[in-house]
Chain A
Amino acid sequence: MRVPASERLLAYVILIAMAALVLAPVLAGSITAFKPQIIWVSSPPTWIFEPTLENFEFVFFTRKGWQYLRNSLIISFGSVAIALLLGVPAAYAFARFRFRGSKALMQWLISLRMIPPIVVGLPFYAMFLYLERGLGIGLRDTFPGLIITYQTFLLPLVIWMMRGYFAELPAAMEESAMVEGYTRMGALLRVVLPVVWPGIVATAILNFIFAWNEFFLALILAGNRTSTLPMTAGTYIVRTRVEWGNLFAVNMIIMAPVIVLTIVLRRQLVKGLTFGILE
């Protein structure tokens, strides 16, 4: 279908306006991250200045930003790894077998994504408290505790995305391998996983972004030992002032990997996101 030039022009104008609306604050903030403290909030804003890395230096070293970065990485990688380990086989089972309640289970999984984090966070907090006092199992302010909690929103996403990839493949692919001398597990590992590998990568990255950006559950369940980067961003907004330059420096550190990953993998991400939904 050919779209008339006038309509295309209109579409571009609207898209550029929307993008500008979203990106302008990000851009302004990013510029502020490189401003020396005295001109953070100068009025009118200063646009011409000598860029400095002092804000980054401050948040990274003086305020121990590198520790929070490390925590964020441990929690994000850890929770994505666990989500894939549990979710990929589960997705395969959902794609290939019909069992009692399989449909309802899938619906329930997607409904988990609709729950606001506070509904999950507070019970988890209470549960961790009971475990700690009753059984002596300490999960509050630990990496395993956060990684377990993150499964509530990562696992459903892994299962829904991966089920889409598995369902696209003909069942005869594994069946062929099974007749040719392999078990179903052998067929899955040797034949199916290599084919859906790009899907696993896309799923992993999207889940990484979700885990990386997570704020609310960490706020409730993480403590001094496990604070994540997004949590610390809030510490630059105090009662008497906002440390704009430092805040935006942290924000840039948080955004950087997300932006890079999204640009590199935008095609797979769109495919991954619409999978299962457009079935």
Chain B
Amino acid sequence: MKVVLKDLVKRFANAERAAVNSINLVIEKGELAVLLGPSGCGKTTTLRMIAGLEQPDSGCISIAERDVTDLAPKDRRLAMVFQNFSMYPTMNVYDNIAFPLHAIKMKRGEIDRTVREVARLVNIDHLLERSVRQVSGGEAQRVALARAMVRRPEVFLMDEPLSNLDAKLRVQLRTEIKRLHQDTGTTFIFVTHDQEEAMTLGDKIIVMNNGDIQQVGSPHEVFFAPRNAFVANFVGTPSMNMLEGAVLADDGGGYRLQLPGFELSLPVRFHDGLANLAGNRVIWGIRPEAIKLASAPAGNGVSGKVELVEALGSRDLIFARAAERLFGLIVDAQESLAVGAPCHLHFPGEQMHLFDAESERSLLNDLPPSDAPLCPPASRGAESPSGWGEALQKG
């Protein structure tokens, strides 16, 4: 179901700044939305407010056009999987999965059928009689998934459910969650600090920092068109190479960028954004994947020396020192260089990013902010839930 957050604020007692700072967000029906950000960015608090486990200080939450802001968690028709809890320790697997069904006073026969069906779906039907001590961490998290699914919730909430698992299991369960999402068509909201997890899972990624939404977009959008320096830096491993420099005035041959130790010419697509910025400080960035190794000093580039090589499998991560800076670049293993070898780095103009040094906003991708008003200002509870549902559609 569609989930809408409007001007949501949460401030914890004794905290300097708000944990969640007036965020607005629409998650469409059937979408798998990922809240991504470093620890303390407000992503988990946001999820817990949707679940009803935290009460917002102001703002409202609607699920399927229904204002749930003041509803108890049990009345919100959603399910949640937690990071540090998966099974009720005094019940076996079967009773764990049946537990939410007892809350709605389902008949015994129907409970049995539902539990077995859901257990089969997440491949734990052979574990039903086991106690919590006899299941592994991955299996326990499957039990949590089954328990979440068993009531056919309108929205699945997942708070870093894979963080406590080992790498292999994490990837395996990640795929299963994705499959589960496709099979059920239910809205999923997934919280993680792992950007790879966010990329592989999400239809929509919401990058958060310091209680604010930094960017909302598809995995490709947040990766290729970060709206600010934070998103550019946070999304992608290894992170984007970033340097601070100054824009030089257009001398007829286009704008140029003065970086510490070298100069670059900026491609035409930046010119609009730079119109009034000559002399200003900017942050320049390029992803490790975008840097090319050239055989000779190239026009838009810098020469240096390989300092460190890390094998990633089919590709190598090279750290090269040039203009007294360390650049990370990813190249095919066949094209890799040895440590100490001289190298020429080429920076393709179409893959460069520029951010205003002060606001850190992108000079290229400064699209209308996604936190623009989604619905007309309304004090909480003043309008009926359907009222602001309509307003949203118009907006």
Q: Interface residues, chain A, CB within 8 Å of chain B?
A: 98, 170, 172-173, 175-183, 186, 190-191, 194-195
In the complex, whether B84 has a CB less than 8 A from a CB of chain A is yes
Choice from B73, B88, B90 contacting A175 with Cβ under 8 Å: B73
Q: How far is the CA of A127 from the CA of B223 in the complex (A)?
A: 74
Inter-subunit contact A194/B147 (CB<8 Å): no
Choice from B13, B73, B90 contacting A179 with Cβ under 8 Å: B73
The size class of the interface chain B forms with chain A is 20 to 34
Inter-subunit contact A98/B13 (CB<8 Å): yes
Contact code string B62-82 (vs A, CB < 8 Å = 1, else 0): 000000000011101011101
In the complex, whether B43 has a CB less than 8 A from a CB of chain A is no
Inter-subunit contact B85/A176 (CB<8 Å): yes
Inter-subunit contact B147/A180 (CB<8 Å): yes
Inter-subunit contact B90/A178 (CB<8 Å): no
A–B complex contacts, Cβ < 8 Å, 8 sampled: A170-B82, A172-B83, A175-B73, A177-B88, A179-B80, A179-B157, A182-B103, A183-B72
In the complex, whether B151 has a CB less than 8 A from a CB of chain A is yes
**Which 6 A-B residue pairings sit nearest by Cβ, starting from the closest?**
A181-B103, A172-B85, A180-B100, A172-B82, A194-B90, A178-B73
Central interface residue in A179, A183, A191, A195, by most chain B CB within 10 Å: A179
Q: How far is the CA of A175 from the CA of B44 in the complex (A)?
A: 14
Choice from B51, B52, B84, B157 contacting A170 with Cβ under 8 Å: B84
Central interface residue in B76, B84, B90, by most chain A CB within 10 Å: B90
In the complex, whether B99 has a CB less than 8 A from a CB of chain A is yes
Which chain A residues lie closer than 8 Å to B88 at the CB level?
173, 176-177, 191, 195
In the complex, whether B89 has a CB less than 8 A from a CB of chain A is yes
Q: How far is the CA of A183 from the CA of B151 in the complex (A)?
A: 16
The verdict on A178 contacting B89 (CB below 8 Å), with A172-B82, A172-B84 known, is no
Q: How far is the CA of A195 from the CA of B89 in the complex (A)?
A: 7
A160 to chain B, nearest CB (A): 23
Which chain A residues lie closer than 8 Å to B103 at the CB level?
180-182, 186
The verdict on A181 contacting B74 (CB below 8 Å), with A170-B84, A175-B53 known, is yes
Q: How far is the CA of A213 from the CA of B52 in the complex (A)?
A: 47
Q: How far is the CA of A177 from the CA of B102 in the complex (A)?
A: 11
Which chain B residues lie closer than 8 Å to A178 at the CB level?
52-53, 72-74
B394 to chain A, nearest CB (A): 32
